[in-house]
Amino acid sequence: MAKRISGADRVIMALLTSQWPDGRCVLAYAKHGAMAVVATVPVPDLPQSDSSLWEVAARHVPGNSLNESEAYGRWLLCTGWSMSVMPPVHGLVVKDEPWSLDVLKTAVLKEPGYGSDGVHVGRMTFGNEEVSDRVRKLLT
């Protein structure tokens, strides 16, 4: 069973091309203590929305990396963090909304990056159905 963490921090979400040319998922970025959270937000009747971010990172990071966790973790952290620097035009930002994360991977970095000691990667869900409806609209 996956580890579960929860919070109500600001969450920034946007579409991410998870499989070229037309596979899309909603990427979410939040902070949880000293760690970042980078997750997909699955939509139950849209199976393509539940992509493996670890596999997406694997397709973008050079194959000769000596430390997969460090390399994939940094790529995912950079991808999520960049949305906080330049929020996506057609994205979604929610504040003070309870969320839960099923942690699939955790990458603790050798040295902090982008203001975090590492990244929890997984699937994020929201307690508020209105937020879930807004996420669905990003994909449709």
Q: What is the pLDDT of residues 21-55, one digit of tens each?
A: 777 899 999 999 999 999 999 988 776 667 789 88
Its pTM stands at 0.92
SS3 62: coil
The label of the residue with tokens 């998922």 reads: 25
Backbone φ and ψ for 40, nearest 5 degrees, come out as: -90, 155
What is the reported pLDDT for 64?
64
Cα–Cα distances (Å) from 91 to 26, 76, 136, in that order, read 9, 18, 12
Cα–Cα distances (Å) from 72 to 6, 19, 62, in that order, read 23, 16, 10
- Span 62-105, pLDDT tens digits: 766 678 889 999 999 999 999 999 988 889 999 999 999 999 99
Q: Are 40 and 25 in contact (CB under 8 A)?
A: yes
What is the reported pLDDT for 47?
67
